[in-house]
Structure 1
Amino acid sequence: MNLIYFIIFSILIFFPIELSATEENIFKFKNTVELGITIDDLPAAGPDIPFMTRQEVSDKLIKTLKEKKVPEVYGFANGTLLYNTEMQKKILTDWKKAGYLIGNHTFAHLNLKNVSAEEYIKDIERNESVLIDHASSVSELKVFRYPYLMEGENLDKRYSVRSYFKNRNYKIAQVSIDSSDWDFNEAYLRCKKLNLKEKENELVEKYIKNIVEVLKYNEALSKYIYGQNRKTPQVLLLHFNSLNANYLGLVLDKINKMNVKFVSASKAFNDSIFQEDSAIPMASGLPFYEQVRRSHNLKFEGYPFPENNTKWLNKQCEE
């Protein structure tokens, strides 16, 4: 018997057993959470990528979304990114061929805090004229995502833009889950440039954890605001970048195991909840449920506020 125990012990030491997905301690929401997925800054988000073309980013993202059976993703495009080559235009064509939608994200990715409402509206209209050849219909294009989630630092500016939207039959594509992937992507590019694979893996793990925590926080917050019996939709904001091209599959696998159901983006942000006007001036952009919390002066302590990773990310793979 001692020999048998020795053999078993030796096997466990040298060939550790990997837990299967079913054996992991996975958090699951009690009730199914419906999540719509949106991707900003088509066709070329973030800094230049030394190890991938923009076309490769597009191909990988579309492939992943198809493999994970994500329905009707809404992409928000900036006309200024359709510069100098036919590749950017082809990326939008491929996006449409995949069955996804294209919305307005201003032509020059403007921050409403830095320009007048009149300049902002002109930029929206300029983007319309560029993107109309790529969207299937005018109504498809008249779904708007605020760059930086900034809706106006004062109410005059906020309602000047909203009045324009009402007159032109625009819909606002709100966000509840801000992934901060743009911040992670910059650190990711540095790690790739320096070929620091262990750091890259650590960063990706933290990125996935960040999305999980932001999702858990906003699901808890939305239930606190609207009640446990109200199904509260979630909308995930991602960007058209290399980090997501290579790792979005892991993100979607993780949140899918949490009893999250992927639904069309339109279904999610057309929910009546997202039609509420928080009516608050913004010093910086905010996801929707946080806007509502502040507008009602609610104090929420039902789940820890997700960690801000910017300082940690700035220190990763420094050159």
Structure 2
Amino acid sequence: MRLFICLLVFLASTAQAQKKMAITIDDLPTVSKAYTSPAGRLQLTQKLLSHCTTFQVPAIGFVIGNFLLTNERPDSNQIGLLTLWLKAGLDLGNHTLAHKDYNLISFNQSKADIIGGESIVKNLVQQQAKPFRYFRHPYLRKGDTQAKKDSLEQFLQRLGYQEAPVTIDNSDWQFSRAYDHALLVGDTALATQIGRQYVGYMLDCVAYYEAQSDSLFNRQISQTLLIHANTINSDWLGKLLAELKQRGYAFVSLDAALTDPAYRSTDHYYGKGGISWLHRWALTRGKKGVFFKGEPEVPAMIDELANRAVNLPGR
């Protein structure tokens, strides 16, 4: 009997350990209203990298090309932040030059935005003898017509890009805006409250998309989490990663996550929404309303703080 119980415990722990997640981080080098000086951006970057190092996360960051420019010229401080990512052993990908919404621009404008996004970061990555092959769609939007979707996919293939999907979508950016507000007005108690709410919200998002995975594939697929290089993650990502690890997740590279057969699922979705690939696959399979219910919502307090104007200098 004891042997049988031990076997059950072993099988349960093994099943837990099989949960895998790739951490993908958008809007590099940084996006923050609280950390706006070169020293502040460096501090934010060092914090993010410290979390990744502590939890051995092989993250990939997606770079907005315009963030590397000051007065339309390359900014050595900003470019230096990307060098820190590469020296930490992490990968970088293309998030376009200006982060334009593909649904609001033409295909030709999108092509220019994609190519412009390569202008600095591609050479920087290749100088480190690392591959530069992943593309992340701004706002996760791939086109609101079949023709635009097809044109973009074919263009990315011609350039040798692989699309970087997202299965666990969320609104971490709203929490970070609210968090920036609290820091800028010096309300550390409010900042802590927002940080704790953020971790809880993100764990709820993970649980929701785990349920979506079970419903669609009858198993837990290798998940891809989208977060941003923002203020709240610089302070609270470590807590989130610790909780995810406690829930049985192993952190893997995007390369490794995409070996899961789920990512070869057909995606016929096009439309105005930038949505999770789990939802794209579900819609392609004909899933309707009730399947999608229950996605966690951002609390009203967070939404209000995120949109409150604060005219104070950053750090």
Bin for the TM-score computed over the shorter chain: 0.7 to 0.9
State the shift of 1:30 in Å.
5.8
AA matched with 1:167: R
State the shift of 1:311 in Å.
3.1
Q: Residues of 2 paired with 1:224 and 1:55: CA distance? A: 42
Identical columns (%): 25
C-alpha RMSD of the superposition = 2.4
Cα displacement string for residues 117-147 of structure 1 (whole angstroms, at most 9, x for unaligned residues):
1110121112122212211379832211001
State the shift of 1:255 in Å.
1.1
Alignment pair present for 1:82 and 2:68 = yes
Q: 1:40 matched to which residue of 2?
A: 26
- Listed as ranges, the matches of 1:51-200 within 5 Å are 53-70=40-57, 72-84=58-70, 85-136=75-126, 140-200=131-191
Q: 2:231 matched to which residue of 1?
A: 242
State the shift of 1:294 in Å.
1.7
Q: Residues of 2 paired with 1:48 and 1:316: CA distance? A: 14
Q: Residues of 1 paired with 2:278 and 2:98: CA distance? A: 27
Distance 1:172 1:91, change over 3 A: same
Equivalent pairs, count: 289
- The question of whether the paired residues in 2 share the 8 Å contact of 1:149 and 1:286 is answered with yes
Distance 1:313 1:29, change over 3 A: farther
Alignment pair present for 1:273 and 2:293 = no
State the shift of 1:50 in Å.
5.8
Superposed structure 1 runs of 4+ greater than 6 Å apart: none
Cα displacement string for residues 57-98 of structure 1 (whole angstroms, at most 9, x for unaligned residues):
11111111101111x211110110002231101001111000
State the shift of 1:173 in Å.
0.5
Which has more radius of gyration? 1
- The question of whether the paired residues in 1 share the 8 Å contact of 2:65 and 2:97 is answered with yes
Question: Any gaps of 5 or more consecutive residues in structure 1?
Answer: 1-27
Q: Residues of 2 paired with 1:76 and 1:250: CA distance? A: 22
Q: 1:208 matched to which residue of 2?
A: 199
Q: Residues of 1 paired with 2:32 and 2:139: CA distance? A: 13
Q: Residues of 2 paired with 1:44 and 1:202: CA distance? A: 23
- The question of whether the paired residues in 2 share the 8 Å contact of 1:128 and 1:141 is answered with no
How does the TM-score come out when normalised to structure 2? Answer: 0.85
Alignment pair present for 1:315 and 2:304 = yes
Q: Residues of 2 paired with 1:186 and 1:142: CA distance? A: 30
How does the TM-score come out when normalised to structure 1? Answer: 0.84
Distance 1:194 1:48, change over 3 A: closer
Distance 1:29 1:208, change over 3 A: farther
- The question of whether the paired residues in 2 share the 8 Å contact of 1:74 and 1:100 is answered with yes
Q: 1:290 matched to which residue of 2?
A: 279
